[in-house]
Structure 1
Amino acid sequence: MPQRRRRRERTLEEFLSWLLGPSSQRAADSAGDARALRKRIAWCWRIRPRIAPPDARRHTVMADGTYMGHGWCLIIAIDGQTGEVLDWQWCAHESKAAYLTLFSRLPAPDVLIADGLRGAEAACTQAWPGTRIQRCLVHVQRNTRTDLTSRPRLQAGRELKRLSDGLTSVETAGQAVRWGEALNAWHERWKDFIAERMCLFNRKWAV
């Protein structure tokens, strides 16, 4: 029995080394036999990781979904300060119900950091009514880059992108105040331009 356990431990280490590393299946097998490797590690895919439910309240919790193949999405909640994985939830998409199922298993944090989707915010309001919600700054930057492109042609866009790029450098309350003041100044400087509209070919108005 001990010998079989040690053999399985070595196989699991081999599986994780291949799964998390850069090597192909053929390169990961000592004999260069990809089929033998797949047969040897087949049982490893059936291992279901378990995490003890956290009993301590966290200051910040970050929650976000990652879409996999075959119509699956994995929502993961981590400690916003340590990066420790607290729990996860499989779902078809990032709905309120999916987030609510996840949040109901965790103690309410002081702050939830999410990507701004309504499902996560609605679930937080219901499961953790006293928790504040912070929009994930990386998602703000990503969305801004999508709207402006990485090289905006207009001066207003270039200025706004510089503000967005500086978001993740904000670390203190004073820096946050100054960033907010700079954004307000941008809005004041370009308010007439922002209010402009143009008529598209489909006769709809666009900003």
Structure 2
Amino acid sequence: MKNGKTSAGKTRWRCKHCGASTIQARPDITAKAQFTMWLDWLLSKKTQRELPVSRSVFKRDTAWCWQVIPQAASTGEIHRWIMLDGTYYQGMCVLIAVTKDHVIDWQFCDREKIVAWEALLAKIPAPDIAIVDGQRGLLSAIKNIWPETKIQRCYFHIQLTGTKYLTRRPVLEANKTLRVLYTSLTDVDSLVCFVN
């Protein structure tokens, strides 16, 4: 039966048989409150000193939040083009599919490989064009999962590869001309291109 409230305002319950008093815990509500507090802190400019609880309590109560792996909600929307790339963070690889406006989906893995790329691509409807960095595992996965999708090499990676082989100051005239071509790719804004 109810036995008043604690100083924190929680209902205190007392057992009719033994007289012991306790409060009823709701792990789901507690976890939601902890996650909300952690997310608010993470997405704000607040320091942990500015939180309504001590830093040690905050760290203890929200340590589990760092282990939550976010999931993207699949909309089934078909995109004209999708950019695909992998990035590494603290020894883990994240494969990402994005449009100009937002992240479509992602896949955690140990490194970029065919099976990981296929797991990501299988969750997304095939676009008309996939913009990629040229990684072999990704190219194979696109051919397997999205056989009709056209592949476009990312301008940034084209320029990176060109600079790797030709340097920033090529000596030969042919190399200078080639450098002008691949560095001007980012200025192309239509399908019609006029060469002077």
TM-score (norm 2): 0.71
Q: 1:51 to 1:8 in 2, by over 3 A?
A: closer
Higher deviation after alignment, 117-126 or 150-159: 150-159
One-letter code aligned to 1:91: C
Separation in structure 2 between the aligned mates of residue 49 and residue 126 of structure 1, nearest angstrom: 27
What residue in structure 1 maps to residue 94 of structure 2? Answer: 74
Q: What's the secondary structure of 2:192's corresponding residue? A: helix
SS in 2 for 1:64: strand
**In 2: Cα distance, 1:117 partner to 1:124 partner:** 11
1:146 maps to a residue whose letter is K
The share of aligned pairs that are identical, in percent, is: 33
Please give the secondary structure, in 1, of the residue aligned with 2:37. Answer: helix
For the residues of structure 2 that align with 1:8 and 1:148, how far apart are their CA atoms? 51
Q: Looking at secondary structure, tell me which structure has more strand per residue.
A: 2
From the superposition, tell whether residues 172 and 37 of structure 1 become closer, same or farther in structure 2 (CA, over 3 Å).
same
Please tell me whether residue 29 in structure 1 is matched to residue 48 in structure 2: yes
**What's the CA shift for 1:105?**
1.1
- Structure 2 residue 73 is the aligned partner of structure 1 residue 46: no
Q: How many residue pairs align between the two structures?
A: 167
Structure with the higher fraction of residues in helix conformation? 1
The alignment status of 1:10 with 2:37, answered yes or no, reads yes
Counterpart contact for 1:15–1:41, Cα < 8 Å: no
Whether 1:130 aligns to 2:148 is yes
Q: Where do residues 102-113 of structure 1 align in structure 2 (5 Å cutoff)?
A: 102-113=120-131
* Cα separation, 2, equivalents of 1:6 and 1:38: 14
AA partner of residue 15 (structure 1): L
Computing the radius of gyration from Cα coordinates, the structure with the larger value is 2
Conservation of the 8 A alpha-carbon contact between 1:12 and 1:41: no
Distance 1:7 1:46, change over 3 A: closer
State the distance in 2 between where 1:15 and 1:130 align: 41
Is residue 2:68 matched to residue 1:61?
A: no
In structure 2, give the amino acid aligned to 1:169. D
Judged with a 3 Å threshold, the aligned counterparts in structure 2 of structure 1 residues 7 and 76 are, in CA distance, closer, same or farther, namely closer
The aligned residue for residue 101 of structure 1 is 119
Q: Is the 8 A contact 1:11 1:40 kept in 2?
A: no
Please give the alpha-carbon distance, in whole angstroms, between the structure 1 residues aligned to 2:169 and 2:40: 45
Q: CA 1:7–1:100 in structure 2 vs 1: closer, same or farther (change >3 Å)? A: closer
Offset of residue 157 of structure 1: 3.0
Measure how far apart 1:155 and its partner are. 3.6
Task: Work out whether residues 54 and 107 of structure 1, in 8 Å CA contact, stay in contact via their aligned partners in 2.
Answer: no
- How far is the alpha carbon of 1:158 from its aligned partner? 3.0
Specify the SS of the correspondent of 2:64: helix
RMSD of aligned C-alpha atoms? 2.9
Q: Using the alignment, how far apart are the partners of 2:43 and 2:58 within structure 1?
A: 12
Contact 1:73 1:90 in 2 (8 A): yes
Partner of 1:146: 164
Deviation of 1:38 (Å): 4.1
For 1:161 and 1:41, the matched residues in 2 are separated by 51
> In the alignment, does 2:178 pair up with 1:157?
no
